Each structure stands twice: as C-alpha cells, then as structure tokens.
C-alpha cells in the first residue's frame, strides 16, 4: 500500500472511531437524564405487555390523583407525604419543600424523583395540574366581589330578546355562528 493511501485509511479510521466515541458518550449522558413517566398502577404492577417494573433507585415521574385524607405534613420541617392513585394501587410520595399553590387532595399531580421502594418515591419536584377556571392573580383581585359563573353550567346564557327571535339558520343554510 502506498503511503498516500495508508494516510487516508488512518484518517478515515480515526474519524470513524472519534464519531463512534462521541455518539456513545451522548447516549450515556442522555440515558442518565431520562425520566420515564409512570402511573401508580404501572409502578406497582409493571408497564407494557412485559409488565416491566421500575427498579429501586430509578429516576422517574409518577402522575395520578392525590388520595383524599392522605396528605401528612411534618409541623417542624417542610416534609410532606401523600398517596397517589389512578385506577389501581397507591404509591406513597415523600417530598421536602413548598408544594404548589394548586396542590390539594383529589387533584391531579405529577411528582418527579427517585423510587426508594416498590411503592414509595422521594420526589424532588411536584407539579400540580391547574383547573380550567384558572385566573391570574391580578384579574382575580380586580374581580373581587363579582360573582363568577361557569358558562358551561349556565342554561340561561341567551338574552330574552335573542330567545324571542326565530331561528333563521336553516333558511339561509348557515349555522348562525361567525367564522
């Protein structure tokens, strides 16, 4: 083999080895930062067709509803424990810190942390699901004293003069809504 080809071959081999090493380092780093999402049933019973259970020490996210009456607070510290449930078994979540304002029993939450036993997790972060009637604090302050009615539950949402008018949407082929 002439020296020119030998030099090219070594350059290509070094390039392939370098790219392979960089890809393997990236995959290892990404694998360490993956937080898989589980429901409480999947944590206890397993996930998927193979019923794969998470291992103790694995980083994960658990999402479910906070069980009524399960929230226990330590009066001396910021330690809080509560039970999460979906449709099956419960999982205990231990958290040290200030819980979100929207956290309450019967509310949906997602806890991120490390599994410490098959049915217990130590959370580093707790996210509370907000309801669809969220209102920014500034707007809530401005609307103090005004009674809020959910438009989805009101039946008398049309004015009386609108109820008296005949429906002409079938006559002209339009639905009556602006598009």
DSSP bridge pairs for 49: none
In angstroms, the CA 43 to CA 177 distance is 48
Annotated binding site for heme: 130, 134
Which residues, other chains included, contact 80 with Cβ-Cβ below 8 Å and sequence gap of 6+? 71, 72, 73, 74, 94, 95, 96, 97, 99
What is the Cα gyration radius of the chain?
28
Structure tokens at 46: 């397993």
User: Which parts are annotated binding residues?
Assistant: 130, 134
**Other beta carbons within 10 Å of 123:** 23
Contact (Cβ atoms closer than 8 angstroms) between residue 111 and residue 125: yes
């Amino acid at each position: 083999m002439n020296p020119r080809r030998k030099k090219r071959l070594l350059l290509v081999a070094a390039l392939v080895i370098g790219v392979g090493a960089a890809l393997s380092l990236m995959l290892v780093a990404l694998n360490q930062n993956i937080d898989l999402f589980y429901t409480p049933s999947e944590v206890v019973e397993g996930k998927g067709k193979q019923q794969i259970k998470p291992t103790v020490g694995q980083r994960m996210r658990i999402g479910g509803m906070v069980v009524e009456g399960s929230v226990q607070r330590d009066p001396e510290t910021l330690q809080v424990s509560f039970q999460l449930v979906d449709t099956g078994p419960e999982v205990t979540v231990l958290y040290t810190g200030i819980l979100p304002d929207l956290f309450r029993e019967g509310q949906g939450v997602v806890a991120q942390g490390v599994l410490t036993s098959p049915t217990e997790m130590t959370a580093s972060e707790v996210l509370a699901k907000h309801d669809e009637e969220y209102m920014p604090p500034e707007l809530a302050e401005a609307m103090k004293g005004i009674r809020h009615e959910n438009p989805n539950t009101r039946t008398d949402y049309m004015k009386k003069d609108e109820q008296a008018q005949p429906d002409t949407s079938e006559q002209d082929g339009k639905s009556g809504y602006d598009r």
